[in-house]
Amino acid sequence: MTQDRVSEELFERAKRLIPGGVNSPVRAFKAVGGSPVFIREAKGAKLVGEDGQEYVDYVGSWGPMILGHGHPEVQKAVAEQLEKGVSYGAPTRAEVEFADVLVKAVPSMDMVRLVSSGTEATMGALRLARGFTGRTLIAKCEGAYHGGADYLLVKGGSGLATLGEPDSAGVPAQIAATTTVIPYNDVKGAERLFLDHGHELAAVIVEPVAGNMGCVPPDPAWLSALSRLTRATGALLIFDEVMTGFRVAFGGAQERYGIKPDLTCFGKIVGGGLPLAAYGGRRDVMEQVAPAGPVYQAGTLSGNPLAVAAGRKTLEILSAPGTYDRLEAISAQVEAIAQRAIAEAGKKAVVQRVGAMLTIFFTEGPVRNWADAARADKAAFARFHAALLSEGVYWPPSQFEAAFISLAHDDEALEKTEKAMIRAMAAA
């Protein structure tokens, strides 16, 4: 039985039991066609499908597997905690020590609250911003995804900066209207937004490096403009570093670009592959979170000891001198491979990378915002993705998702990637 046949049968069974056959929409491969590959196990930079087919993995569980799958030290840390119990619903020494690691790693954070997912982190940070400022309106960028909260599932209207319109059934228009949308990297648009609504805004939430429209780096003036505008009006600047945190630098994108937000949301890597996330920032703001203050947020599994053990060991390994130099070198090799494949095939495509995040856009570059990204040839990307998969390379199944590179991508993985990339680009 081929992998396609195994996956197809599992997918058909799943669709009778799970909406769409998956527990998160992008996994269904709707953007690229075909059936998703069902994974049996993983190790290092490799995934193994249900029939034993191996793939070089550039999804990395959507970011957290920066050390590669099944890192022995992380597994040992989790196993040791497993012997002590999996959940207490009570405070632990480990979560205090882990919070200390996070605060020391990220200079903008004086205090931090642990949660279980990136969505929880952004929800908590935005509720806190509204409670702290006494304002309702928030701003996000067109094409950005900050989790599944109703007021974040919005898209822009026809204007430069417009009130949000629901981007999902089940989202009341009144709730979506509490969010305004501006283009990413548009300084003048942000200035106009603040001129019109600055004193109504509780916060601007932004991915410092966009990852949910593909990898889009910030223009040099973009993040500093948001910092300046929020300070001038009393709004809070929230960095969604769920993807970029501990990936583009140990201290996240804020370290890389030298910008200090008021609040930061983390996920992915801080859990070492287990469900864990966090939000934190200025002491005067964070002290408004219950039970210290009036802004309520709670979670039974927040600070789960298994997840804390995995996250703490992951960050400990990442903090070793030279780690990010090595990760940058590996990532630069993947970028060079993609560039060579594009040149050899003569395709109209551009590679964009920041640290260990990378996207190949099937359009002329540079891609600076959602409007640019949306012009990409999605059919060409789908052909490229299918060809890569047939060659044993597991790439994100959407033109608008970033690929993630790990420290486990060794010479063997890169050689296989290069051969597959050249053939796949020719087929795109």
Find the angle CA(199)-CA(205)-CA(207) to the nearest 5 degrees: 150
The catalytic position among 46, 55, 57, 240 is 240
Q: Which pLDDT score, from 0 to 100, does residue 2 have?
A: 45
Compute the average pLDDT of residues 325-346: 98
How much is the pLDDT for 177?
87
Q: What average pLDDT does the chain have?
A: 94
Please pick, among 55, 57, 257, 268, the residue that the annotation labels catalytic: 268
Give the pLDDT of residue 173.
83
Averaged pLDDT for residues 398-410: 97
Domain limits, the chain? 3-70+323-427, 72-318
Residue 165 pLDDT greater than 80, yes or no: no
pLDDT at position 111? 98
pLDDT at 386 over 60: yes
Q: Quick one: fold of 72-318?
A: Aspartate Aminotransferase; domain 2 (3.40.640)
| Angle at 159 (CA atoms; ends 154, 161), nearest 5 degrees | 65
- Say which CATH superfamily domain 3-70+323-427 falls into: Aspartate Aminotransferase, domain 1 (3.90.1150.10)
C-alpha to C-alpha distance for 204 and 375, rounded to whole angstroms: 26
Rounded to whole angstroms, the Cα distance separating 280 from 266 reads 9
Query: Given pLDDT bands bounded at 50, 70 and 90, which one contains residue 385?
Result: very high
Question: Would you state the pLDDT for residue 168?
Answer: 80
pLDDT tens, 58-96?
A: 999 999 999 999 999 999 999 999 999 999 999 999 999
**Whole-number percent of the chain with pLDDT over 90:** 88
pLDDT tens profile 213-239: 999 999 999 999 999 999 999 999 999
Per-residue pLDDT, 161: 38
Closest CA to 46 of 27, 22, 70: 70
Q: Is 35 or 234 the better-scoring residue by pLDDT? A: 234
Active site residue 268: yes
pLDDT of residue 170: 85
pTM for the predicted model, two decimal places: 0.95
Residue pair 152/238 in contact by the 8 Å Cβ criterion: no
Catalytic residue of the set 58, 145, 279, 324: 145
pLDDT in tens, 97-125: 999 999 999 999 999 999 999 999 999 99
Measured CA to CA, the distance from residue 16 to residue 196 in angstroms comes to 50
> Over 50: is that where the pLDDT of 45 sits?
yes
Spell 284-299 as b/e; 16+ CB within 10 A means b: ebbeebeeeeebebee
